[in-house]
Structure 1
Amino acid sequence: MHPDIQMRRDIVDGLHQRPLLATADFYRLIDRPMPVVTFRMTVKPAGRDFYHVVDSQTGKVMGFRRQHNEACALARRLETRNANQLRG
């Protein structure tokens, strides 16, 4: 790899790490644990051009789609529906 490209990649990687470090420093200053964001619905490949939307807590397949983008959209819809049910 060309040295200029490698140098640019190193700089960009460092810039991507700065927000995480700043957030960790903030939580360290207020003496609280950093929250962990986990998604309940995950998209997993299940064959050629076929994707399952799986509930990570139960392991059940909640739906399936033939396109990855459609499977991700379904996972987002199920995630928001689940969050709305928990709220009220």
Structure 2
Amino acid sequence: MHHSIQSRREIVDGLHQRSRLATIELYRLIGQPEPVVAFRMVVKPSGRSFFHVVDTKTDKVMGFRRNHNEACALARCLERAR
């Protein structure tokens, strides 16, 4: 990896960590638990070239796609429909 790309990634990672720590501190100061974002539909690789969209509550495969981006789009669509 080129050194300029690596340095940019390190900077972004550092900023992300600082942001995460600030969020944790904010919730600690106000005495509230952090909200948990739990997705019901998750995309899991299956075999060599397929991706399953799985409902985490029932562990059922709700659909599948050959392309990861299409599988993610299907998962978002199913999330909105629930």
TM-score, with structure 2 as normaliser: 0.83
Asked if 1:68 corresponds to 2:65, the answer is no
What CA distance in whole angstroms lies between the structure 2 residues aligned with 1:56 and 1:50?
18
Q: 1:80 to 1:2 in 2, by over 3 A?
A: closer
Q: 1:3 to 1:77 in 2, by over 3 A?
A: closer
Unaligned runs of 5+ in 1: 83-88
Identity across matched positions, percent: 70
- Measured against aligned partners, the alpha-carbon deviations of 1:37-71 in whole angstroms (never above 9, x if no partner) come to 11110111111211110001110000111111110
Q: CA deviation at 1:22?
A: 1.2
Please list, as runs of the form range in 1=range in 2, the aligned pairs for 1:1-88 lying within 5 A after superposition. 9-82=9-82
What CA distance in whole angstroms lies between the structure 2 residues aligned with 1:66 and 1:3?
34
